[in-house]
Amino acid sequence: MPESQPNADGSAAVSLESLLAGMRVVSLPMTVRFRGITEREAALLPIGDRWVEWSPFLEYEAPEASRWLRAALTTFDTPSAPLRDRVPVNATLPAVPADQAVQVLERYGRWRTVKIKVAERGQRLDDDVARVRAVRERFPEARIRIDANGGWDLDQAETALRTLEPFGLEYAEQPVAQLHDLVTLRTRFDRIPIAADESVRKAEDPLRVARMGAADIVVVKVQPLGGVSAALDTVVASGLPAVVSSALDTSVGLAAGVQLAARLPSLDYDCGLSTGALLGGDVVRRRLLPEWDGDAAVLPVTQPEVDEGLLDEFAAADERQQHWRQRLIDCWPLAQAV
Ligand SMILES: O=C(O)CCC(=O)C1=CC=C[C@@H](O)[C@@H]1C(=O)O
Ligand SMILES: [Mg+2]
């Protein structure tokens, strides 16, 4: 693989040709359905003698996927020294039936905080209540947060939050999709803090949430926000507490999330970076999986080493490799421009 030096702005001095020549696409089985998928496709790109992750979700068009590419190309642009050597993380519970909740959470080992998915398409509020109740009954001390992915309208959100409040929620993530609805919801019901995720990571201006007073907390993800530096800038400029969360990445992408979390001026909440536990395979041997440190489940600040044997083992079909090559060609010029 060719050696390369980073550009002055920290982005990697690589050519499209070298990325196309070295790119490897993997398809990792998931241990439980999450976000409607059971296989996670991810591209690993060679930069010098290291690998970076580029894994925009399959339905994303080039404008959005190119911001994720920008993040990949700036992976080694770490803006400042880490302030901590490990970060506390939460377990993440997909919208499984209530009677499976405890069993799915066992994959995470011991944890103190859990994010429970709610408002899944095709389900009802009763399903969410049953799932949250099952977790609360089994883990009376747990910090529980929910994530609706904008799946409720304003009235549904207000009803849902009032119904779920007795279970004791740390915060509710993206209960409604629209920014102005977040603002209204906070005026109608202010007993549960609101976190913004999609309103930050999919917005043209990720700081509008803070300016409009639409949330108490920002959820930040490295790939959608264009890299560790860009995400850190967003957090600092927002002036809000931040939760670093994964994009269902491999351990390579998770490590970038940990790098970001390690640099946040303050870390008030456990981070959504233990989703490695939802993957049935990975591209590194020493996977980034949560470990209990006596107080919290944590991930270490490390640079995991990609194992090329695993890139072979989980290699996506030729047709998928081809698909990602075209995607890279389409996104490349946009990634230079953003
Ligand atoms: O934050 C977490 O606990 C885990 C990550 C997580 O929930 C997500 C990862 C990837 C895609 C998203 O739909 C989802 C989220 O909405 O935050
Ligand atoms: Mg979310």
Location of each CATH 3.30.390.10 domain in the chain: 16-79+307-337
Catalytic residue list contains 117: yes
In the chain, residues under CATH classification 3.20.20.120 are 86-300
pLDDT tens digit string along 126-178?
A: 999 999 999 999 999 999 999 999 999 999 999 999 999 999 999 999 999 99
**Distances 303 to 5, 76, 150, 253, 299 between C-alpha atoms, Å:** 18, 10, 33, 10, 12
Task: Establish whether 221 is a catalytic residue.
Answer: yes
Could you report the per-residue pLDDT of 87-139, keeping only the tens digit for each?
A: 999 999 999 999 999 999 999 999 999 999 999 999 999 999 999 999 999 99
Residue 9 neighbours by CB under 8 Å, 6+ apart: 74, 77
pTM of the model: 0.95
CA 274, CA 299: separation in Å to the nearest integer? 8
The ligand placed nearest to the CA atom of residue 120 is 1
Q: How confident is the model at residue 77 (pLDDT cuts 50, 70, 90)?
A: confident
Domain with residues 16-79+307-337, CATH architecture: 2-Layer Sandwich (3.30)
User: Is the minimum distance from the CB of 202 to ligand 1 under 6 angstroms?
Assistant: no
Q: What ipTM was assigned to the predicted interfaces of this complex?
A: 0.98
Q: In CATH, what number does 86-300 get?
A: 3.20.20.120
Query: Which residue CA neighbors atom 6 of ligand 1 most closely?
Result: 246
Q: Is the CB of 226 under 6 A from ligand 1?
A: no
With CA atoms as reference, report the closest residue to 176 among 157, 160, 202. Answer: 157
Report strand pairing: 24-34 vs 37-47: antiparallel
pLDDT for position 2: 36
pLDDT band at 338 (very low <50, low <70, confident <90, very high): low
Q: Which of 293, 300, 262 is nearest to 112 (CA)?
A: 293
> Is residue 197 marked as binding?
yes
Does residue 147 have its Cβ closer than 6 Å to ligand 1?
yes
